Chains A and B, each alone.
Chain A
Amino acid sequence: MSGQEFLDRLKRDLGTKITGANLEAVDPWIEVSPTGLPDVARYLRDSADLKFDMLMCISGVDYFEADPKKAEKTGWQPHLEVVYHLWSVPHKRSLVLKVMLPRWKNDEPGEIPDIPTVSDVWSTANWHEREVYDLSGVRFTGHPNLRRILCPEDWEGHPLRRDYVMPLEYHGIRGR
């Protein structure tokens, strides 16, 4: 199945939940709407000929450049991407899903955006979503235990945000 055929099939079966794609990239990816993500995930895992039964990685990528000159060069609108790398064990194939999110919920700085969890589809997502929440600042709604995983629980801010500033001190330890 070529990339275009696969995309057409997904669009036919899942409709507006598929919001875009880039088939020319080094790793072609498919963009999914945040609300449609759990349905798309279940469809990809359960369809007999696809069987994307393994979730390899969830990464949060923050596209934000504070310097306006540099921002112009990159050509990126400030936004946040959550990238899902899937793998099919029976068919030995990979797939990349992307979900675009605003950097802040309702444009209020400090309010991190929401996305439905897929930890009920792939158990791998449980820890990975905690990591993305911890480091990139994305709230996974419906997650059974959304706590920080790598940073201490009383840590403030999300370090992999591009505008993150190291705290001056943490429990008496000098930060910067």
Chain B
Amino acid sequence: MATQTDDARIIEFDVRTDEMLVNMGPQHPSTHGVLRLVLRTDGEVVSEVTPHIGYLHRCAEKIGENLTPRQWIPYTDRMDYLAGMNMNLGWALTVEKLMNLQLPEKARHLRVIICEMNRIASHLVGMGAYGLDLGTFSPFLYAFRERERILDLFEEVCGARLTYSYITVGGATADLPPGWLQKCEAFLDQFLPVIDECHALLTTNSIFIQRTAAIGYLSPEMAVDYGCTGPVLRGSGIDQDLRRDGEAAYTAMYDGYAFEVIVEKNGRYPQDHKYPAVPSQAVLGDCWHRFYVRMLEVRQAIDLVRQAIDRYSTATGSYGEPVKLTEKLPKGEAYLETEAPRGQMGFYIVSDGTSIPWRARARSSCFCNLSVSHEICRGALIADIPAIVGSLDIVMGEIDR
């Protein structure tokens, strides 16, 4: 006898299912590195997610206790390896804060150019890889094509394409090469229309919207409670960006720059007149909004780089000579957070008065962003887990340090 029902769920209700533990990772391609998730599932529904981390633990903090701050810079590269410049910056600024070092104006603008360019590169990977998580390959190729161009520019600046160690205590290891600014501007002009292509490929794609809208909802209260930062926090509607709200040691870098924090206020984003409208299915705090905040930040970064190029070209003086490799640190301690692409990256340095820090601590943004995953994955379908974890845009190198 055929079952007399229109609702498929009623039939499913009759099927007895046992709870099952499913291991996702550490080599699952959608986990952005070596993350292992243990899912407790009932049929297709996930009732509990337990992340297991530490596969990439390289004792960075212990190494930091045995090297001078400038020697530790290459290790910070290897934390968030998609945004090495921003990691260098965080540590360099923290040490400068402890040493009470004032930087020449040109060094400030140079750092803004480099860090915002790295933010674009990092968000491009975030976007492309998120497409991969959801099963579409083309956006990844578009994103990597553009990222390659940024890496080429970085290669010209410091010789490296991934682990730069360019920004260092006291400024940067070298000045920008002649003619570089024109190349950078040419890249920005070329890149601007590509963002629209990316929006066409993902942001407004109806399959993408169905996979991400109203999925992985993170309430603003929970985001604050779990210490989520960066696009994850702003995607939940909390107005916080350290480039505007941070400590003076960091905001001085962006002093005089015009930019608006990318966050939804009264139902609209600051730049939404130029960009695709928020789909009706999306809820503030879901995967779609986290993705969208990142995409708008790419646009914002372009504006910031352009402003910085103008200021850099007119600034006079030194680009910021690095301090001596074995420069003595004053006794004391300092903690500083910076707005890295993935959230607020904090560094804490304790010094006993020698040139080697007593303690070097890295507060990882992804570490906190990932810790909320068990809350936002609860009750989701297995197929949605990569979508939710991918929307947090984690980098395991930074989580495990």
Q: Which residues of A contact B (CB under 8 A)?
A: 25-27, 53-57, 59, 61-63, 73-74, 76, 83, 85, 89, 92, 94, 96, 122-124, 126-127, 131, 135, 148-152, 159-160
Contacts and interface: CB of A to CB of B under 8 A. Distances in A.
Given A26-B333, A27-B333, 16 more contacts: A25-B332, A26-B97, A53-B224, A56-B344, A56-B346, A59-B363, A85-B346, A89-B238, A89-B240, A123-B222, A124-B227, A149-B53, A149-B54, A150-B57, A151-B57, A159-B62
B110 interface: no
Contact of A74 (B225, B247, B353): B353
B335 A85 contact: yes
9 A-B pairs with the lowest CB-CB distances in the bound complex, closest first: A124-B227, A57-B363, A150-B54, A92-B245, A127-B371, A150-B57, A59-B361, A26-B334, A123-B225
Q: Which of B59, B245, B359 lies at the interface centre, i.e. has the most chain A CB atoms within 10 A of its CB?
A: B359
Interface of B: 53-54, 57, 59, 61-62, 65, 97-98, 100, 222, 224-227, 238, 240, 245, 247, 332-335, 337, 344, 346, 348, 350, 352-353, 358-359, 361, 363, 367-368, 371-372, 400-401
A61 B245 contact: no
B226 A59 contact: no
A91 B337 CA distance: 16
B59 A159 contact: yes
Nearest to B221: A53
Contacts of B62: 159-160
Given A57-B363, A74-B353, A127-B367, A27 B225 contact: no
Contact of B335 (A53, A96, A126): A96
A95 B166 CA distance: 31
Contact of A89 (B224, B226, B348): B224
Contacts of B335: 27, 57, 83, 85, 96
Q: Which of B227, B337, B372, B400 lies at the interface centre, i.e. has the most chain A CB atoms within 10 A of its CB?
A: B227
Contacts of A53: 224-225
Nearest to B62: A159
Contact of A126 (B224, B352, B371): B371
Contact of B334 (A27, A54, A63, A159): A27
